């Protein structure tokens, strides 16, 4: 028995070290935690659950729980929900006889016994770690101790990984519209140009600029201008022309169109311009001018070519050689 306990403690230390040394990729971190928790407790399945509104969501699953990724349970009717509410570890040795659990859900995932551990970091519950077994009375006090020894580190690591991902998202997204920003655009353009060149596939870039936007700001004020930008971003993003839509500055947007030649890209851009006009984002509508370029191995050249075509379109619209921005 003494040797078994030493082996268990050594396994816990190794798990702590592995978690601490892992990078800040949130999904990879959570998968590692679930796998090691299942191994340490000899469980048949492990789940990392996150609270979403009044439900608990299976965000990561291992072992017998694998098929149930994304499963949702009402917090009020689940042991994990009660675990969050009470902010303490809860154990069920026989789910068929435990009024705290959702018996139907337990039968569905074949959980006859389980341990739910709240992951608390700086007094905030960041999730629940659940291990379960197809056998009743499968877990003992050593299993509880093993999970308790891991939970502080697990909670801190998930919290830090979540913060890292939020920061990474925020630095590449525009706060006003929610679209990816200029930094993300430049990174993505380089990646897509490289891929298109490597596989000899067409790739088009569209730069789109709202017509008359400066007048909206001047006459109606910046709050109205912000509303127009949010509406325009929504129209462009919902056009389903491409997944890669960016706000790269002011009222200028960029759209990457993989596997699309310039002729088809211009048709798509015109549909977006028509949709913006139809959306009536301001009284009288607001249009858009655009420039399209095919990429040929040089991201900067592609951007410059699309921008030159956009400038020419604006010049034609305003009947001048030097166009105003907006």
Q: In the numeric block, which tokens belong to residue 179?
A: 């679209």
Q: Of 174, 211, 244, 251, which is the active-site residue?
A: 251
Rounded distance between C-alpha atoms, residue 37 and residue 305, angstroms:
54
CB atoms closer than 10 angstroms to residue 236: 26
Closest C-alpha to 26, from 157, 139, 156: 157
| Phi, psi (deg, nearest 5) at residue 240 | 60, 25
**Nearest 10 degrees: Cα torsion 22, 25, 31, 33:** 40
Distance of CA 155 to the CA centre of its chain: 19
Distance of CA 272 to the CA centre of its chain: 26
**DSSP element (H, E) containing 120:** strand 113-121
Phi and psi based region of residue 137 (left: phi greater than 0; alpha: psi -120 to 50; beta: remaining): left
CB atoms closer than 10 angstroms to residue 303: 21
| Phi, psi (deg, nearest 5) at residue 55 | -125, 160
**DSSP element (H, E) containing 160:** helix 141-170
Contact assessment for residue 147 and residue 129, using Cβ atoms and an 8 Å cutoff: yes
Helix (H, G, I), strand (E, B) or coil at 64: coil
Active site residue 53: no
Residue with tokens 């090691």: 36
Catalytic residues: 251
């Amino acid at each position: 028995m003494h040797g078994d306990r030493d082996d268990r403690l050594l396994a816990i230390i190794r798990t702590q070290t592995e978690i601490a040394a892992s990078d800040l990729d949130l999904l990879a971190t959570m998968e590692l935690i679930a796998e090691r928790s299942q191994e340490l407790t000899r469980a048949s399945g492990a789940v990392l659950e996150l609270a979403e509104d009044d439900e608990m969501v299976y965000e990561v699953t291992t072992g017998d729980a694998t098929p149930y990724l994304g499963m949702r349970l009402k917090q009020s009717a689940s042991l994990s929900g009660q675990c969050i509410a009470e902010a303490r570890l809860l154990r069920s040795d026989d789910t068929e006889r435990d009024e705290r659990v959702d018996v139907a859900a337990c039968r569905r995932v074949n959980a006859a016994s389980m341990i739910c551990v709240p992951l608390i970091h700086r007094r905030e519950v960041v999730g629940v770690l659940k291990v379960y077994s197809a056998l009743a009375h499968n877990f003992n006090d050593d299993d509880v101790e093993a999970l308790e020894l891991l939970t502080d580190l697990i909670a801190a690591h998930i919290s830090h990984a979540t913060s890292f991902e939020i920061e990474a998202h925020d630095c590449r997204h525009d706060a006003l519209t929610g679209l990816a920003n200029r930094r993300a655009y430049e990174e993505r353009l380089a990646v897509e140009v490289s891929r298109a060149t490597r596989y000899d596939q067409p790739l088009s870039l569209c730069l789109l600029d709202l017509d008359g936007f400066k007048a909206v700001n001047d006459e109606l004020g910046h709050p109205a201008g912000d509303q127009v930008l949010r509406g325009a971003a929504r129209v462009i993003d919902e056009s389903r022309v491409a997944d890669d839509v960016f706000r790269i500055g002011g009222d200028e947007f960029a759209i990457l169109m993989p596997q699309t030649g310039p002729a088809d890209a211009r048709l798509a851009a015109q549909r977006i311009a028509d949709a913006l006009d139809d959306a009536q984002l301001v009284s009288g509508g607001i249009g858009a001018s655009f420039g399209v370029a095919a990429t040929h191995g040089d991201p900067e050249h592609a951007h410059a070519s699309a921008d030159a075509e956009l400038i020419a379109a604006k010049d034609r619209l305003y009947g001048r050689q030097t166009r105003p921005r907006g």
